[in-house]
Amino acid sequence: MARTKEFNEEQILDKAIDIFWYKGYNGTSAQDLVTHLGLSRSSLYDTFGDKHTLFARALGRYQQKGVADVKELIARSGDMKEVLKGLLKQAVLESSQDRNTKGCFAVNSMVELALHDKEIARLLDQNRQDMEIVFLEAVKKGQELGQITKEHSALSLSRFLYCTYSGIRVLSRSKETAKEVYDDILKVFFSIL
């Protein structure tokens, strides 16, 4: 008789996000996974196959949650300019308060793996496209309502927003990034909107 799983896969994926986010893919050992996830090696490999598959699933879950959170925030607001400003301000706040200098899991994965791992590169490119679509919808809505300039195309602004957001998250990897740097980034971005 087969044993039933005594754990929730989504909770395990959330724990996997934490350890991979903190240590990176290459810095996370099989023992780190066993210890942090609280699973035996056999349960880990029976459920997820291997470290790479677990990483890909954790990254996918992280990305899905991120896109869903931004969509919900946009859907709840009528002021798109303020929503987009809020997203960047939140990224700065999280980055400046990140004592572990974790940055963004997706951005970190892009820097670490995308050049050499086609599957991860594909997942990350899909995430970029998904975020750009969400930002595009917000910018279009803001332009229609007269809240965001039409001087630039909605697509250009959504791509610029994605790159600005990602850049803020990369900067957070350094504990030395001064508040003034973040302030300058926000000031320039807000002037463009």
The model carries a pTM of: 0.84
pLDDT (mean) for 51-74? 93
Tokens (6 digits) for 80: 């798109």
User: Is the pLDDT assigned to residue 176 strictly greater than 60?
Assistant: yes
**How far is the C-alpha of 83 from the C-alpha of 30, rounded, in Å?**
40
Which amino acid, one-letter code, is at 82? E
**What is the number of other CB atoms lying within 10 angstroms of the CB of residue 75?**
10
- Domain boundaries defined on the chain: 63-192
Over the stretch 142-153, which tens digit does the pLDDT of each residue have?
999 999 999 999
134 φ, ψ (degrees, to nearest 5): -65, -45
User: Is the pLDDT assigned to residue 55 strictly greater than 90?
Assistant: yes
pLDDT > 90 in the chain, percent: 55
Fold of 63-192: Tetracycline Repressor; domain 2 (1.10.357)
Q: Assess contact for 37 and 79: CB atoms under 8 A.
A: no
Handedness of CA 143, 146, 149, 150 (dihedral sign): positive
Over the stretch 6-45, which tens digit does the pLDDT of each residue have?
668 899 999 999 999 999 999 999 999 999 998 888 888 8
